[in-house]
């Protein structure tokens, strides 16, 4: 039986959420699975990956084949590096302590990269909001200036209303009173 680690879709239309599952390769995408090992939400920025790395590592060591997307996620989280280092330990190329040190160093650098990306996105969002607010203030001031100019022009040139002209044209001479 060929075992795959792949995504199983859930969620509503145009708002997909995925479960990372271990399933028989012949099972349908959203069908029966052996074990759920995590979730993936591509709608968030950056995409959120919640993964039980120990279970994923165990399944990889047993021979489960990840799909392309899951392989990228496992690589992003360091599970494939851990597998690679563990195979080196099994073959005797490095010791377990060296493998653990390399993995810890990689995870530390990866965490700092992820944190800087999140901070960069947050600062970009704040600067975009600030720019929108400044543009809105500029438009508001332009409208206020236009209204003020219109009021000044209206005060400087009195415009006779049509209602005041009509009675003047229809006036009849007053009759003398007896």
Report the CATH number at residue 57. 3.30.1320.10
Which H/E stretch holds residue 154?
helix 96-156
pLDDT of residue 38: 95
> Closest by alpha carbon to 73, among 18, 23, 153, 27?
18
Q: What is the pTM of this model?
A: 0.69
> Closest by alpha carbon to 3, among 83, 73, 49, 58?
58
DSSP 9-78: EEEETTEEEEEEEEEETTS-TTS--SEEEEEEETTSSSPEEEE-HHHHHHHHHHTPEEPHHHHHHHHHHT
- Asked if 67 and 4 touch (Cβ cutoff 8 Å), the reply is yes
Domain of 85, in residue numbers: 3-94
Domain for residue 107, yes or no? no
Domain for residue 75, yes or no? yes
Structural domain count, the chain? 1
Domain for residue 11, yes or no? yes
Walk along the chain (178 residues) and give the pLDDT tens digit of each residue: 799 999 999 989 999 999 999 999 998 888 889 999 999 999 988 889 999 999 999 999 999 999 999 999 999 999 999 999 999 999 999 999 999 999 999 999 999 998 998 899 899 999 999 999 999 999 999 999 999 888 888 888 765 655 555 555 555 556 667 5
Domain for residue 153, yes or no? no
pLDDT of residue 102: 94
Domain for residue 158, yes or no? no
Domain for residue 130, yes or no? no
Domain for residue 123, yes or no? no
């Amino acid at each position: 039986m060929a075992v795959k680690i792949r995504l199983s879709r859930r969620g509503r239309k145009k708002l997909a959420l995925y479960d990372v599952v271990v399933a028989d390769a012949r099972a349908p995408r959203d069908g029966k699975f052996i074990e759920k090992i995590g979730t993936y939400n591509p709608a968030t920025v950056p995409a959120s990956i919640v993964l039980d790395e120990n279970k994923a590592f165990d399944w990889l060591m047993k021979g489960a084949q990840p799909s392309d997307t899951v392989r990228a996620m496992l690589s992003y989280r360091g599970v494939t590096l851990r597998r690679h280092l563990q195979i080196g330990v099994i073959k005797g190329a490095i010791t377990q302590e060296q493998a653990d040190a390399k993995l810890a160093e990689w995870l530390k650098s990866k965490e700092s990269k992820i944190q800087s990306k999140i901070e960069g996105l947050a600062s970009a969002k704040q600067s975009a909001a600030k720019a929108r607010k400044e543009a809105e203030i500029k438009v508001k001031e332009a409208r206020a200036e236009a209204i003020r100019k219109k009021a000044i022009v209206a005060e400087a040139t009195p415009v006779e209303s049509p209602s005041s002209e009509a009675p003047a044209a229809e006036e009849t001479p007053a009759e003398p009173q007896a």
